[in-house]
């Protein structure tokens, strides 16, 4: 989520720091190999509410088809803004008033509602509905769901209500805007009494939530975790704020489906999206004992900080490098084992190029057998729900052996050459790897980075 005209860095500093980072990467990988005795964590449920579809099959088929679901923002308030495109939920797919009572909707933000709908699908797919009477199962099931941003319009409207009188302020105002409420509402609804965790790390939120849940299970804090992220902050104020950062696409207002174009030479900023994707993660033996479906496995999790700038990544790409390397080391795999990288690439001039550089640097000669894509061309950038939605597509790619494409990728500039980009249409996952294994990158404002190592399930 990086603005194209953000702060630029000293290239000399970048050149000096990169060899040190690469040495550290090598040393770290040799020291921290995967402990084969630790608890394995598998994916047993998936659910989604997104611009590309509001169930897993529909969303996956839209992604494979190479369609963009970005549309025009309609309304007088949007007409005055530089960016007038976004990827929104189709109301024909999801009508919140049919999913929840009026009383329930008063208590929750739109993002929370999306998370609850996606969680219902994920839990159904996982066949995990223990019920409050099953005390042990509920105590061993936790929740880790985050939001990147609260509903800015809710805050503005409540402020206007306060001007008319104290009693005009809803008693549910504060609960609606707390970032932990998707997790809280889900926990209450299903009686889950394991870890109740919320992440809010800008556009790395969804990936961090999955990674944290993965570690909760590994460390024995839970047997099952319901995790992911949710976002619903498309509004005139939200669009205006990102426009002032010069982060959004403004060149394709008359051609919305062409506006989100990761890695393409005509990219000029990201496109906001909304929705939620929820995972059910489970300790392997727990899943096998109850005959749960297994969609894939979380192998590793890496985190890092750029410690550099509020909105732009380090120019040398070391923040992304460290996150990817740590995910590999945590998963006990090497660059030679990876066949696909699902990039964070948001369609910004600076961010996409730096991530491409980091991938090339890390994989070296192995880039020849590596595929790279970003699905944001189809669904835009879901901010706090980006990493989890895209991780869902990685799980599906590992499961089905199909690589999701980057929509609107026509020409790659010289600074991003040297990688095999899956462009515009899906491709079969080919290669000599014994097992399909991928990396999923997510980066956020404040220099926060996450990387998940995801693989197809193997006994």
Taking the model in full, what pTM does it have?
0.91
pLDDT digits (tens, 9 = 90+) for 383-402: 999 999 999 999 999 999 99
> Is residue 374 very low, low, confident or very high in pLDDT (cuts 50, 70, 90)?
very high
pLDDT of residue 36: 55
pLDDT of residue 155: 96
pLDDT of residue 459: 84
pLDDT of residue 290: 97
By CB neighbour count within 10 A (0-12 exposed, 13-18 middle, 19+ buried), where does 30 fall? exposed
Kindly provide the residue ranges of all beta strands, DSSP E only, lying in 306-435, ordered along the sequence: 340-342, 371-373, 402-403, 420-421, 427-428
pLDDT of residue 7: 37
pLDDT digits (tens, 9 = 90+) for 128-158: 999 878 999 999 999 999 999 999 999 999 9
pLDDT of residue 18: 53
- Domains within the chain, CATH numbers bracketed: 41-455 (3.40.47.10)
Which among 203, 227, 398, 451 is annotated as catalytic? 203
Whether the pLDDT of residue 226 is over 70: the answer is: yes
Mean pLDDT of the chain: 92
Rounded Cα gap, residues 215 and 230, in angstroms:
20
Worst-scoring range by mean pLDDT, 14-28, 146-160, 287-301, 329-343? 14-28
> Is residue 5 very low, low, confident or very high in pLDDT (cuts 50, 70, 90)?
very low
Whether the pLDDT of residue 426 is over 70: the answer is: yes
User: Is residue 120 within a helix (H) or strand (E), and if so which, with residue range?
Assistant: helix 110-126
Percentage of the chain beyond pLDDT 70 is: 92
Q: Which of 458, 398, 384, 444 is nearest to 227 (CA)?
A: 384
pLDDT digits (tens, 9 = 90+) for 79-88: 999 999 999 9
Worst-scoring range by mean pLDDT, 41-55, 190-204, 258-272, 299-313? 299-313
pLDDT of residue 431: 76
pLDDT digits (tens, 9 = 90+) for 29-61: 433 334 457 899 999 999 999 999 999 999 999
Rounded Cα gap, residues 69 and 75, in angstroms:
19
Active site residue 203: yes
């Amino acid at each position: 989520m990086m603005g194209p005209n953000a702060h630029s860095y000293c290239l000399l500093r970048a050149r000096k720091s990169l060899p040190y980072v690469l040495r550290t990467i090598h040393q770290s990988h040799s020291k921290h190999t995967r402990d084969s005795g630790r608890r394995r964590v598998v994916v047993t449920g998936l659910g989604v509410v997104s611009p590309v579809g509001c169930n897993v099959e529909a969303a996956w088929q839209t992604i494979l088809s190479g369609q963009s679901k970005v549309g025009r923002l309609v309304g007088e308030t949007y007409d005055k803004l530089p960016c007038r495109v976004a990827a929104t939920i189709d109301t024909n797919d999801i009508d919140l008033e049919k999913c929840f009572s009026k009383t329930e909707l008063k208590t929750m933000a739109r993002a929370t509602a999306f998370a609850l709908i996606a969680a219902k699908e994920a839990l159904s797919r996982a066949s995990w509905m223990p019920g409050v009477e099953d005390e042990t199962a509920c105590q061993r099931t936790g929740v880790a769901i985050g939001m990147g941003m609260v509903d800015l319009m809710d805050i503005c409207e409540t402020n206007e209500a306060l001007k008319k009188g104290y009693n005009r302020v809803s008693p549910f105002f504060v609960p609606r805007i707390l970032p932990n409420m998707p997790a809280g509402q889900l926990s209450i609804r299903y009686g889950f009494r394991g870890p109740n965790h919320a992440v809010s790390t800008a556009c790395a939120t969804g990936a961090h939530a999955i990674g944290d849940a993965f570690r909760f299970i590994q460390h024995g804090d839970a047997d099952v975790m319901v995790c992911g992220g949710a976002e619903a902050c498309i509004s005139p104020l939200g669009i205006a704020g990102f426009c002032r950062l010069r982060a959004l696409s403004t060149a394709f207002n008359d051609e919305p489906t062409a506006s989100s174009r990761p890695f393409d030479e005509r990219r000029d900023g990201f496109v906001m999206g909304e929705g939620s994707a929820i995972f059910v993660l489970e300790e392997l033996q727990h899943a096998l004992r109850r005959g749960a479906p297994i969609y894939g496995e979380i192998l590793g999790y890496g985190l890092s900080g750029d410690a550099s700038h509020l909105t732009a990544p380090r120019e040398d790409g070391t923040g992304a490098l460290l996150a990817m390397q740590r995910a590999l080391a945590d998963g006990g795999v090497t660059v030679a084992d990876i066949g696909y990288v699902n990039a964070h690439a948001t369609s910004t001039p600076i961010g996409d190029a730096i991530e491409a550089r980091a991938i090339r640097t890390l994989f070296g000669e192995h880039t020849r057998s590596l595929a790279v894509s970003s699905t944001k061309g189809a669904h835009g950038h879901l901010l706090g729900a980006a990493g989890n939605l895209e991780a869902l597509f990685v799980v599906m790619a590992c499961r089905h052996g199909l690589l999701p494409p980057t929509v609107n990728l026509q020409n790659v500039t010289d600074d991003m050459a040297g990688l095999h980009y899956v462009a515009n249409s899906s491709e079969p996952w080919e290669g000599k790897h014994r097992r399909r294994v991928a990396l999923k990158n997510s980066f956020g404002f404040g220099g926060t980075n996450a990387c998940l190592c995801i693989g197809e399930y193997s006994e």
